[in-house]
Structure 1
Amino acid sequence: MSESLDAQTRDEIDDQVAEAFDAYLADRLAEPGPLRASLASSRSTRLVLGTVGLGALATALAPDGNIVVCWIWGAIAVTNVAWLLTARHR
């Protein structure tokens, strides 16, 4: 009997934690911000997906040197961050 009570108590706690986490995420998603604004724009999504696709292609075609791959992904990161910052000011 004690084991089933413990399992039931754990289930109730898990449910309460899940509900609190859901409420927290809903509040965070309702807040304005650059990431939320960029996700609302399909143009931003295309840019991010395009740069990641080009980065994957460039990584596959890059020579064995890791320096080249690091520069490629660094440029992609700078491009995407700059895009997020400009999207926020629109």
Structure 2
Amino acid sequence: MSDSLDARLRDEIDDQVAEAFDAYLSDRLTEPGPLRASLTVGRGARVVLGTVALGTLATALAPPGIAAVCWIWGAIAAVDIVWLRAARRR
């Protein structure tokens, strides 16, 4: 009986955490910022996700060594930051 009680209690806690997280995200999306600006433009999120996908592919194909991977992800970070700043100015 205590196992079923524990399971029900865990489910209830999970539901409460999910509701609180949804409320938090809703509040955060109403605040101004680069993420909000990129979502209103509509293209920003696709560009960022596209660069991450290409970075994953480039990392898989990169020669062994940490230097190449650092250059790949450094370039991706730079592109994404420039893109989000440009989207915020619009």
Normalising by structure 1, we get a TM-score of 0.68
Give the number of aligned pairs: 82
Indicate the larger mover: 78-87 or 42-51: 42-51
Return the letter of the residue paired with 1:64: P
Partner of 2:7: none
Residue deviations 1:23-51, cap 9 Å, x none?
A: 55443321121111112333112211211
Residue identity over aligned pairs, in percent, reads 70
Instruction: Provide the rounded CA distance (Å) in 1 between the counterparts of 2:34 and 2:78.
Output: 15
Instruction: Provide the rounded CA distance (Å) in 2 between the counterparts of 1:19 and 1:61.
Output: 40
Return the letter of the residue paired with 1:79: V
Normalising by structure 2, we get a TM-score of 0.68
Structure 1 gaps, min length 5: 1-13
**Cα RMSD over matched residues?**
2.6
Give runs of aligned pairs for residues 1-90 of structure 1, distance below 5 A.
24-90=24-90
